[in-house]
Structure 1
Amino acid sequence: MNGAGVDGAAVDGAAVNGVGPVTVIGGGPIGLAIAWRCAAAGLAVTLHDPQPGSGAGAVAAGMLSPVAEAYFGEEELTGLLVASAARWPAFAAELTAASGIDLGHRGEGTLVVGLTRDDAAAARRLWTYQRQLGLALTPLDAAALRAAEPSLTPRIGAGALLPDDHQVDPRRLVTALREAAVRAGVRLVPSAVTDLDTIGAGTTVVAAGWASGALTGLPVRPVKGEILRLRAPAGAAPALRHVIRGQADGEPVYLVPRADGEVVVGATVEEHADTRVSAGAVLRLLRAATALVPELAEYDLVETAAGLRPGTPDNRPLIGELPGRPGVLVATGHYRHGIVLTPLTAELIRDRITVGATLPDSVTPGRFAASQTRKAQSWT
């Protein structure tokens, strides 16, 4: 693959002379990172968003989980996650230097656990698959689990350490990206774009999350996720050292600890487009969280929130030219993976604009147009 491949560096030696202005639609982590990278490359960049950082990124937990999110039949997506996660340490350091803001990037790794016998059996099947892909995963016995996380319930039936699955604070990330973008010369316009035809000459990048579907006609849909934020009582030490992911009586849950005593608990997955938080979702998440870490029952419930993830039919993002619209690129459809895929997506879009780098076939929007053509032909 030419240019900024998934596993390679950006093409060197090509100038940005002759590249017109860039307009980015959407001020979440993806849009802000693209704007920052393009501006840092010497391009004139304008970003449109009524409230940058107010979308799904403000609700996200911030897990960087290439291994825990490696599911059966999604090998191409797993490759993207692994490639982008490997970029995160350098990306975080560069962004902190550019913005002066710490991102809360932590690398203790993630513990994946199963509570019941059925939970443990399902977890072991997935671990076998993930290890077959060559991903880093170390099964742990009960004693090792308790040593790593003393607050875990002794009822845990199985566990594993994923050393390459880290975390970042998405709210700090958005603040840092906005600051770095402004310092690099990005012009922020606090308004929405509802019609691509209103954008002038140059390159347009649609990075508007689930709202990108209406702008582009691509199959991007909103997938609701509800999340909770707990906080340790005043004076209490944080209950957790690692991100915890797993199942409690069949209910999937994750726990993401912050250094200040906050624990993010999430998240539901629902095919809805509203952002209300239901009592049932809160009940399910708290029941699963406290089943894994009983101490969390004593924490304060300080926030409940819901966000809309941008889903696609194959769960892979859409990165590249919008079919039939010269000069329009898209960077959307990241579903649950927007935070971990931020560095790679920004790099791919920047290098496509500046040096014409080739994009991975697995992410180009044309894959759906081609699929629709084949389907139409099969009906004739």
Structure 2
Amino acid sequence: MLTGRSPSTASVERARPDVAVIGAGPIGLAIAWRCAARGLRVVVHDPAPGSGASAVAAGMLAPVAEAYFGERQLTELLVASAARWPEFAAELTEATGAELGYRTEGTLMVGLTGDDLAEARRLWAYQQGLGLPVTPLRPTELRHREPALAPRVRGGAFAPTDHQIDPRMLVPALRTAAQRAGAVVVSQAVRRLADVDARVTVVAAGCGAAALTGLPVRPVKGQILRLRAPGGVTPGFRHVIRGYADGDPVYLVPRADGEVVLGATVEERSDTSVTAGAVQRLLRAGVDLLPDLAEYDLVEAVAGLRPGTPDNAPILGPLPGRPDVLAATGHHRHGIVLTPITADLIADLVTTGVPDPLLAPFGADRFGGVRVPSGAVGRGVPGGSELTTEEDLWS
């Protein structure tokens, strides 16, 4: 168990932090903030803080729309974390004075064609069976909420508790909060766990966690577009819209400043190139649902890497045989929504040494045979490129 340092103890152990966090994305910074606020000496390592896939992510807080078949335990964690977001956002704004782009209009889930609607209804029935708040809507009811939806849209549902945050506002705010609480951010890569000297090390390195820890975390590529309403006015719709358009899944996230985030592909690839085919498919699906988007400016097309795991759930807690090394990675599509609960659970584990029961389904030992590589270095080793240590988030 780690507790805050007394002045005399702190002077003796000044050179050795209580907690070293590898990765300065939302997960790593939130953990650093929570630990530093408890009086622990915290150092965060990242060669380029805030430059990873969190700068690409849409920021949907969507425990309902992201509830998929066979992922019940993950859904429970998503719901629990989403419930913490209002207080978490308020606390972060109070600590920093920063605007976060937190919006609570809810999410509309839609189907463009009859086949799209049939597929969507199958998922909605599953979500309702879990007790999640999903309200089916007829086409007229959908367009009452969002008149800009295409007349072709066959039907939909409303998820009132699925909200949004702007990750490009969130990450700087978390860094400010962590530093004001006393955490130190060091712009350097970590190539081996042996190079880190701390009482507890937290690996929040996204896809980079695989090389450091031997965990089965793989990159899952996602391409995403950013549009802007003509003249920079507020977009012509309020809700986050998620749906299917001729079989293609798509989401549209409106920002108050006129931006619309349109995404996203899911590709078992590790490159970050943007392809013409992906741009074409995303634009077609988006315009099919919201025809006015055809007049919006296309201002950005980017790709990022989600940290995926074999069961699509995060890896949280100590590495097998290494109680001094905690994993907080593998969040795949859910890094932003899971930021509050991950930070709380890991900070509690650091300070008490007692794992919360919520961690049990997400331990590293569920995969079996995980061994920390003694000489692990970054991708492209030996002598290759530096490890990408920002938490690769996508949601």
TM-score, length basis structure 1: 0.92
Query: How many angstroms does 1:325 deviate by?
Result: 2.2
Distance 2:248 2:19 in 1: 44
Match of 2:360, SS state, is coil
Contact map agreement 1:316 1:362 (CA 8 A) in 2: no
Counterpart AA for 1:257:
P
Are positions 1:311 and 2:308 aligned together?
yes
CA distance in 1, matches of 2:161, 2:207: 28
The aligned amino acid for 2:153 is I
Match of 2:131 in 1: 134
Of 80, 97, 113, the residue aligned with 1:83 is 80
Of residues 37, 42, 50, the one that matches 1:40 is 37
SS of 2:231's equivalent? coil
What RMSD, in angstroms, separates the aligned Cα atoms of the two structures? 1.7
Kept in 2, the 8 Å contact 1:115–1:249? The answer is yes
**Could you say which residue in structure 2 is the equivalent of 1:11?**
none
Whether 1:285 and 2:282 are equivalent positions in the alignment is yes
What is the deviation of 1:163? 0.3
Give the Cα separation in 1 of the matches to 2:232 and 2:205: 41
Contact 1:16 1:355 in 2 (8 A): no
Instruction: Map Cα deviations across residues 7-52 of structure 1 (whole Å, 9 max, x no partner).
Output: xxxxxxx954699610000000000000011000110000000111
CA contact (8 A) 1:136 1:163 kept: yes
Which whole-Å CA distance do the structure 2 matches of 1:53 and 1:158 have between them? 39
Q: 1:101 to 1:235 in 2, by over 3 A?
A: closer
How big is each residue's C-alpha offset from its partner over 1:317-361, in whole Å with a ceiling of 9 and x where there is no partner?
Answer: 001001122311110000000000000000010000001232421
Say which of 258, 271, 275 aligns to 1:274.
271
* Among 184, 192, 200, the residue aligned to 1:203: 200
1:301 aligns with 2:298: yes
- Opposite residue 157 of structure 1, the aligned amino acid is R
1: CA distance, partners of 2:69 / 2:247: 18
Residue 341 of structure 1: which of 331, 335, 338 is its match?
338
Partners of 1:368 and 1:207 in 2: CA distance:
18
Distance 1:142 1:171, change over 3 A: same
Which residue, out of 190, 205, 209, partners 2:187? Answer: 190
Matched-pair contact (CA < 8 Å) for 1:28–1:53:
yes
Aligned AA (1:102) = E
Structure 1 counterpart of 2:91, from 91, 94, 99: 94
The Cα of 1:201 is off from its aligned counterpart by: 3.5
Q: Secondary structure at the match of 2:40?
A: coil
Name the structure 1 match of 2:363.
364
The one-letter code of the counterpart of 1:200 is D
Match of 2:392 in 1: none
1:234 is paired with a residue whose SS is helix
Distance 1:97 1:371 in 2: 41
Any conservation in 1 of the 2:20–2:198 contact (CA below 8 Å)?
no
SS of residue matched to 2:80:
helix
SS in structure 2 of the partner of residue 139 of structure 1: strand
**Aligned residue number for residue 60 of structure 2:** 63
Q: Deviations over 1:166-188 (max 9, x none)?
A: 00000100010011111111111
In the alignment, the residues of structure 1 paired with residue 355 and residue 200 of structure 2 have an alpha-carbon distance, to the nearest angstrom, of 16
Instruction: Check 1:254–1:176 CA distance in 2 against 1; reply closer, same or farther (3 A cut).
Output: same
93 and 133 in structure 1: CA distance in 2 versus 1, 3 angstrom threshold: same
Structure 1 CA distance for aligned equivalents of residues 229 and 77 of structure 2: 35
Amino acid of the residue matched to residue 26 of structure 1? G
Q: Which moved more, 1:353-362 or 1:72-81?
A: 353-362
Deviations 1:70-122 (A, max 9, x none): 01111011001000000000000000111110111000000000000000000
User: Quick one: which amino acid aligns to residue 149 of structure 1?
Assistant: E
* Secondary structure class of the residue paired with 1:88: helix
Q: CA deviation at 1:369?
A: 1.7
2:389 is aligned to: none
2:219 corresponds to which residue? Answer: 222
Q: Aligned residue for 1:325?
A: 322
Equivalent AA in structure 1 for residue 147 of structure 2: P
Decide whether the 8 Å contact of 2:82 with 2:338 is kept in 1.
yes
User: Are the structure 2 counterparts of residues 371 and 235 from structure 1 closer, same or farther at C-alpha, using a change threshold of 3 Å?
Assistant: closer
TM-score by length of 2: 0.89
Could you tell me how far apart the structure 1 residues matched to 2:323 and 2:63 are?
Answer: 33
Task: Note the C-alpha offset of 1:370.
Answer: 6.6
- Corresponding residue SS for 1:171: helix
How many angstroms apart in 2 are the aligned matches of 1:31 and 1:160?
34
3-state DSSP class of the match of 2:322? coil
Residue matched to 2:177: 180
The structure 1 residue matched to 2:147, chosen from 141, 147, 150, is 150
Contact 1:136 1:162 in 2 (8 A): yes
Structure 1 runs of 4+ off > 4 angstroms?
14-20
Q: Does 1:244 align with 2:241?
A: yes
> How much has 1:236 moved relative to structure 2?
4.4
Structure 1 residue 24 and structure 2 residue 33: aligned?
no
**8 Å CA contact retained: 2:108, 2:156:** yes
8 Å CA contact 2:233, 2:257 repeated in 1: no
Change (3 A) 1:182 1:236: closer
Mapped partners of 2:159, 2:198: distance in 1:
46
The aligned amino acid for 1:126 is L
Q: Distance in 2 between matches of 1:317 and 1:15?
A: 26
User: Which position in structure 1 is the counterpart of 2:14?
Assistant: none
